Amino acid sequence: MARLRTAALVAAYVIALVAALATLPTMLALTAALLLTILLVLADALGNRILFKMAVRNVVRRPGTTALVLAGLMVGTAIISATLVVGDTFDSMIVGEVTDAYGEADLFIGGPGSGDGMYNLSDVASMTEQLRGIDHVGSAEWFLRASAGIRNQQSQLSLPTASVYGLTDGAVTGLGGFLSANGSTIDAVPTAGRIYVNEDLASLLDISVGDVISLSAVSGSENIVMDLTVEAVVTDHALGGLLGGRNVYMDLASAQQLIGREDGVNALAVAFDGSARASPNATRNAVMNVLEAPENVPLELEITGDRALDIEEGRESVSMFISLFFVFGAFSIIAGIVLIVNIFTMLGEERKSEMGMARAVGMQRGHLRKLFVYEGFVYALATSAIGSAVGLVLAYGLITAVGMVLDMGGLNIAEYFTFTPESLLIAYLAGFLLTMVSIYGVTRRISNMNIVRAIRNIPEPLRSRGDKQVFRYGALILAGGAALMLAGMSAESLGPSLGGLSTMTMSLGLVLRRFAGDRIAWTIAGLATLLPWMPGVEIFPYEGNIEMFVLAGVFMVTALLTVVMFNSDPLVSAITRLLRVKGGYKAVLKTASTYPLRSKGRTAMSMFIFGLVIFTITTLSMMSGMLGAGIPKMIEETSGGFDIIAFSWAPVDMWNEINASAGFVDPADIEDIVQLTMGGPTFTVLPSMAPGMEEPRQFGYNAIGVTPQLYERGHYPLSEWDRTLYPTEEDVWLAIQNDPSLVVLDGSARPADMSGAGISINVGPFSGIAWETR
């Protein structure tokens, strides 16, 4: 009767579950799966009310225990939830940044044009029409992007370069429009003589609406300066965040005038509709086809920016961080599972005799298991919810900490803190599942105990040496490990190969105990498992990823623990002898070690948790040590040893400026000032100058006039130069002083295709490339 009921319930559950998973969208399906599972347990409990009653009372039996169990069970869920939320946040940051930089555009297209990247609108009109004709292409609009020096006449603040965009109304709507700082949307280009600036620029130069701004750009040999009035300050989102810079927006004609190129444009923004944005491949290919059509080939246009690819790349670049997080998360989750198992084993031990009694008066093994499953269910329902919430808080703390520690180019990840309901639901489900599965595993052991031994509270005897079942299990695990290893080897994948091998060596304990006894068998198994993970030992010549770290931790800790646990008696006596413990202390040590060694399983589990924690802390501190060593060096290199680096538009006397700016820096604290002249011209690099480069290219550089003071007071390490001509860095600096045809180039501005003999590269602004024009 009861059996039939259970069978019917389970059948109904499975059918409903399959139906839900097959028909509903993922999130609903997961929710349905959770609700169905809860319903299943509740329906089952309804048929076993007395068991459910006992389970609930067991939960609240002792507040201390309850708190411990709750905390232990929470760990796993909290870590999962935190990991997912951190992932969400990174994702929202990447998508957010890319979205700001692209506005509504999906592709940016540009080309060499007449050598400077410029096209006449009339020349590209028909090709643009072709693009507009492509399915799912929403708009294709040309605009002009240039750089110019900028100064706010009101605040007197200036920057050597800002990006200037010349837009048409079509381009404004095509790129998603502006959002003004006060929240209204702006869909039109400013009228001639007026500009918009984005918040990034506005905050740097103290710009407010109505200010007059001077822009200066070089056109041929001429320097054009324009005074323009700020009509609006726009947020750094949508068009306001275009290509992620400090931006000025004006009408196309004015921008063309600024750089002296009538009818000139140099960038094409192509926007896809919603469906193509979600899966852009086909539409992107269609765009490529147009660019490569015979009539368009002479234009030499190419895709210079791709929203989808940028998002993908961004995700890849943070995947390192996420996988690091995953490793520690995985350790915590494994430790959490062991903790759950340990807690419930402990609860089982504690209630052993009453459970034996319950069995004597007619409770079946299944009933006992249900008793624990119900108890676990009540715990899981509560802890998964708390755990998901705690994970959220944890993630917020982490993100805030990361935001404070890591300055990602003025980008604060904390602003992007976000989470999706999916993540919380998945964390809840995973926590729920982990708890239930761990508990179910434990209940098997509890329910299989011998009634009399349980009532009397005497431990179950160890499986005898000759036990065939143990041997068979061992052989089975050995075979499983071998299969995993072979699969790993055929896929040339390190994880499964080494994992399989270690599973095999661990299973030796179960297999060999029949012939050699527990101690020798497990010692062999432990040592054999430890061996492949030792530094310097390489068994499989494959590349491994970060998951190897998790495997290493788990197997090394397990193997080491196995060896220690099975040799605890000789170890204790060795320690006793080593410490020359005498008399009373000997008894204390004996007693102290007897209790943990009596229930080896539980002690081993507790030690496993400690082991993992220590493994994690050790590697973490090693890594942070390595990172930490790099940071001061980086600061030293990029600052050149100077404490303050300031720019000014007008040639001014720095001493006067500092004396005038009361409260900023006390002049008494200033040791020395190095003044340099800087300008923002555009360099044209000709192929003859850069081996490997086929077309002349233009770059907007800041040109800095170097005085001997710069390298005498400060130190900007140079990376590579012709050492036969200039033996020391000093000689390089001297050479550029003496020979106006020599420059030192900054590594970060290196064009990708400028490489070859005599030119080499270093990372970091101001570190140099010796650049010979001869």
Partner 1 sequence: MAIIRCENLTKTYRTGTITVEALRGIDLTIDKGEMVAIMGPSGCGKTTLLNCLSGIDDATSGKIFIEDRELTAMNDNEKTNFRAARMGFVFQFYNLLPVLTAVENAELPLLIAGTPSDEARKRALELIDAVGLSHRATQRPASLSGGERQRVTIARALANTPAIVWADEPTGDLDKRTSDEIVALMRRLNKENGQTFVIVTHDPEVGAKCDRIIHMRDGNIANLNGKVSEVSAEIRQLG
Positions that interact with partner 1 (CB under 8 A): 1-2, 49-50, 53-54, 57-58, 61, 353-354, 357-367, 450-452, 455, 461, 464
Nearer to partner 1, 114 or 364 (CB): 364
Closest approach, Cβ 525 to partner 1, in A, equals: 22
68: nearest Cα among 430, 257, 344, 315: 344
Largest CA distance in the chain: 103
For the chain, the 3-state helix, strand and coil shares in percent, each to the nearest 5, are 60, 15, 25
Q: Give every CB contact of residue 247 below 8 A, 6+ residues apart in sequence.
A: 162, 163, 164, 165, 197, 198, 200, 201, 240
To partner 1, the closest distance from the beta carbon of 597 in angstroms equals 16
Please check whether residue 124 is in contact with residue 113, taking contact to mean a CB–CB distance below 8 angstroms. no
CB closer to partner 1 out of 191 and 450: 450
**What one-character-per-residue DSSP string does 558-622 give?**
HHHHHHHHHTHHHHHHHHHHHTT--HHHHHHHHHHHHHHHHSHHHHHHHHHHHHHHHHHHHHHHH
Residue (364 or 677) nearer to partner 1, CB: 364
Q: Which is nearer to partner 1, 169 or 354 (CB)?
A: 354
Which residues have a Cβ under 8 Å from the Cβ of 316 and sit 6 or more positions away?
none
Q: How far is the CB of 46 from partner 1 (least distance, A)?
A: 11
Helices 26-46 and 2-23: angle between axes, nearest 10 degrees: 170
CA 605 to chain centre: 31
We find the least distance from the C-beta atom of residue 370 to partner 1, in angstroms, to be 11
Backbone angles phi, psi at 233, to 5 degrees: -105, 125
Cα angle 575-576-577, degrees, rounded to a multiple of 5: 90
Closer residue to partner 1 (CB): 59 or 335: 59
148 vs 454, which CB is nearer to partner 1? 454
CA distance 607 to 565: 10
**Of 50, 113, 65, the residue nearest 266 (C-alpha):** 113
> Which residues, at least 6 apart from 309, have a Cβ–Cβ distance to it below 8 Å?
none
Q: Are 434 and 333 in contact (CB under 8 A)?
A: yes
Alpha helix (H) ranges present in 108-245?
121-132, 169-174, 199-205
Assess contact for 713 and 692: CB atoms under 8 A. Answer: no
Contact assessment for residue 391 and residue 87, using Cβ atoms and an 8 Å cutoff = no
Q: Which is nearer to partner 1, 285 or 450 (CB)?
A: 450
- 183 vs 461, beta carbon nearer partner 1: 461
Least distance to partner 1, CB of residue 462, Å: 9
Choice between 446 and 557, CB closer to partner 1? 446
Residue with Cβ nearer partner 1 (358 or 501): 358
Residue placing its CB nearer to partner 1 in the complex, 461 or 632: 461
CA nearest to 602, candidates 421, 348, 395, 364: 348
In whole angstroms, what is the distance from residue 689 CA to residue 254 CA?
33
Strands 247-251 and 158-167: parallel
Phi, psi (5° rounding) for residue 460?
A: -65, 135
**For residue 190, which of 154, 133, 242, 234 has the smallest C-alpha distance?**
234
| Nearer residue to partner 1 within complex by CB, 461 or 667 | 461
Provide the minimum distance between the beta carbon of 454 and partner 1 in the complex, in angstroms, as a whole number.
Answer: 10
- 525, exposed or middle or buried, with CB in 10 Å at 0-12, 13-18, 19+? buried
Residue 137, H or E segment: strand 137-152
Q: Which of 517, 751 has the CB closer to partner 1?
A: 517
Of residues 59 and 137, the one with the C-beta less far from partner 1: 59
State the CB neighbour count (10 A cutoff) for residue 773. 11
